[in-house]
Amino acid sequence: MNNTQSRIYLASQSPRRRELLKQIGVHYEMLLLRNNPERNVDVDEVVLKDELPEEYVLRVCREKSEAAWNSMLWRNLPPSPVMTADTIVTKGGLILGKPTDNQHAKEILRTLSGSEHLVMTAVSLAFEDRYEYKLSTTKITFAELDEDRINRYIFSGEANDKAGAYGIQGRASAFIERIEGSYSGVVGLPLYETVQLLRSFGIATP
């Protein structure tokens, strides 16, 4: 496949992923997954019984990829590679998802306080019957967070809709004592792995 002049579709609503693709000069169009029974594009993000964090994030990424490709076909869009990604925060084998409310966000941040956790981001690229993926795993060490610090962070609104109730690119960067791995992977799209995928599909990258 020779796609050196081609665009890709990005099936993600994350503004951070869009910004990261722009950062490396990749041309893309948005491909939003709309819940519609006729399109069969729903993705089950419930953790399955005995499913390990790595298995979970790869499965969800794969299902998003399949749903996005089917959505593109259903809408009769010009075929191009479809990129999807999924990010989770995990500690002690448990997946700490997005907070459901402020109290849940506080509980998550208390769990992360003064300890290490992992951020896993899977990124995939699909075209026709070809599917490739990469997994980025980064170890984060958090400082001790007292209740006042947690409350002020929750009040800022940054914890909303973020895996692990924090965003490394915002105020929570001050919580991090150490990072071992990919900063962009923690933001939501590991650029090194993403470029590897794009190049393997013949798509021009920096």
- Active centre residues (catalytic): 86
Q: For residue 203, which amino acid is it? A: I
In degrees and rounded to multiples of 5, residue 154 shows phi and psi of: -60, -40
Quick one: tokens of 149?
Answer: 């610090």
Quick one: tokens of 107?
Answer: 């509980």
Distance CA 128, CA 118 (A): 33
Q: How far is CA 115 from CA 14, 19, 112, 152, 181, in A?
A: 27, 29, 6, 20, 16
Per DSSP, 43 falls in state -
